[in-house]
Amino acid sequence: MPNIVEQLKKVRKLQSRACTAKMELHDLAEDLPVNWTEIKAAAEKTFGIFAELEAAKRELGALENSR
């Protein structure tokens, strides 16, 4: 089980990846109908990153509560 510092670093890294993925999806949506075929893949990628981020935040919370 990772310690709090390691988990916090993981959360921050995932937050950065999530922000980047969100902006990529936003940019695709703004340019509709251009590149509309790429939206599904970008949305799935974004969904996966946000799911991973949520799980990491829950784990961080559990670590903080166990102190």
- Return the number of other C-beta atoms located less than 10 Å from residue 46's C-beta: 19
Burial class of residue 10 in the structure, from the number of CB atoms within 10 Å of its CB (0-12 exposed, 13-18 middle, 19+ buried): middle
Name which CATH class applies to 4-65.
mainly alpha
Give Cα 60 distance to the centre of its chain.
15
Give the model's pLDDT for residue 39: 95
* Domain locations along the chain: 4-65
Averaged pLDDT, groups of 10, the chain, 67 residues long: 88 98 96 94 98 97 90
Alpha-carbon span 59 to 7, nearest angstrom? 8
